[in-house]
Amino acid sequence: MVSNAEFYSDKLNLYKFQLEELDSINLDSNEEIKINEVYKKYVNSKEVIDTVNQYLDLNNSASCSPIDNIEKSIKLLRKHQSVDKDINKTISRLEEILIDLKDIKDDVSNLESKYYFDAEDNKIVEDKILQYEEIKRKYGGSIESAIKYKQNLIEEFEDGGSFEEKIKLLKEKKQLSEEDYLAKSKELSKIRRKASLEMEVKINDYLSKVDMTDSKIKILINSDSEYRDSGIDRCEIYVITNKGEKYKPLAEIASGGEISRIMLSISLVLNNSNVDNTLIFDEVDTGISGSTASSMGDLLKNLSSKKQLIAITHLPQIASKADSHLYIYKKTDRLRSVSKLKKLNSEERRHEIARMLSGKQVTEHSLKQAERFIIDG
């Protein structure tokens, strides 16, 4: 936080600049409309004055003035008015036109006095319009959004003292949060260490029930200085699977069957927790038979009342306790082998468990025995 003080200081300076920029103009939509109307009037005045001047210049030109040209024409025609009466008529008409043109010239001259244009005044108004457009471009696209942005800046400055004071308050808050976190983490760590000893006893008891009497489990809890959502502890499970061996991390246990039975024992201890609503046990029956297999089946059955279990097994003592029996087999054609899965009905299940009991040759005795397994399950 403190290392970023320069960043926050630059941000504060930016806010000051933006506030000064927004204060440099009257943030009022009506004022903007008036400024645009004045500018439009200046533009129109400039165009009218330019047109009037062009007309007057044309009439004052020695070669192009219609008034001068008509006056010259009248003088020329008067030399011949005694020759032809119609020439007098033409002269009369030209004199009437000449009067109208002089009146029009006077009217146009008077027009110029009605319009005002000053280049410096126009530049001031034009700059003000550009300033409004720049403010709108930078602060949300409208005068209203610029007003809202300015209000947010004012609140930012009014909210809680100087920048240095804010840093101090944040440091104090951080310190209090760290102390509270460490106190609660240490309290949680004590609870975990006590609970881990109780869990070890319960898990080891279950290991003996799944034919792993020489196996023991140990839960190691180490604390460090790293802050995590779960606290300051790192928990790791260590296991020995044979007498005389050293404890090794559970992840280094090679046998899939051993891992499945250890995980079953752990899951039975954590039966009431919400962790992992679906569990899969592969080769959980490796190396066991008889009463041990039946005991493991009872344990799985008990665990399935709280969680969904999927067990891959070759033992009828376990398969007979399931709520659903899925049979996996391979189907081979000329090109490839495909694994298939089939949900067995009650009769198919009885036949499959009988096959598991007696091998390929299913007998009447094995069928009755399978039926007894299913009923007892």
* Interval 112-135: pLDDT, tens: 777 777 888 888 888 898 998 999
Taking the CA of residue 110 as centre, how many other CA atoms within 13 Å lie in the half-sphere pointing to its CB? 6
DSSP reduced 3-state for 276: coil
> 246-271 pLDDT, tens per residue?
999 988 875 777 887 888 888 888 87
Percent of the chain having pLDDT more than 70? 93
**For the chain, how many helices (H) and strands (E)?**
12, 7
The pLDDT score that the predictor gives to residue 351 is 93
Tell me: pLDDT of 187 over 90: yes
pLDDT in tens, 290-336: 788 888 888 889 888 888 889 888 899 999 999 999 999 898 887 88
Q: What average pLDDT does this structure show over 76-95?
A: 85
Q: Residue 84: helix, strand or coil by DSSP?
A: coil
Higher pLDDT, 255 or 25: 25
- For the purposes of burial, counting CB atoms within 10 Å of the CB of 8, is it exposed (0-12), middle (13-18) or buried (19 or more)? middle
| Mean pLDDT (whole number) for 43-60 | 82
Average pLDDT along the chain: 85
Choose among 302, 335, 308: nearest CA to 324: 308
Name, of 45-49, 202-206, 283-287, the range with top average pLDDT. 202-206
Q: What is the pLDDT of residue 4?
A: 60
The confidence band for 273, taking pLDDT boundaries of 50, 70 and 90, is low
Rounded to whole angstroms, the Cα distance separating 359 from 280 reads: 26
Residue-level pLDDT at 160: 47
Report the alpha-carbon distance of residue 311 to residue 304 in Å, rounded.
Answer: 11
Structure tokens at 316: 């009828």
Res 176: pLDDT:
92
- Whole-prediction pTM value? 0.49
296 touches 284 (CB < 8 A)? yes
Q: How confident is the model at residue 3 (pLDDT cuts 50, 70, 90)?
A: low
pLDDT above 70 (res 6):
no
The pLDDT of residue 295 is 85
Say what the pLDDT of residue 193 is.
Answer: 93
Question: How sure is the predictor about 191, in pLDDT bands with cuts at 50, 70 and 90?
Answer: very high
Mean pLDDT of 145-172: 77
Q: What mean pLDDT is predicted for residues 10-28?
A: 84
Residue 276's pLDDT is what?
63
Say if residue 211 is exposed, middle or buried (CB neighbours under 10 Å; 0-12, 13-18, 19+): buried
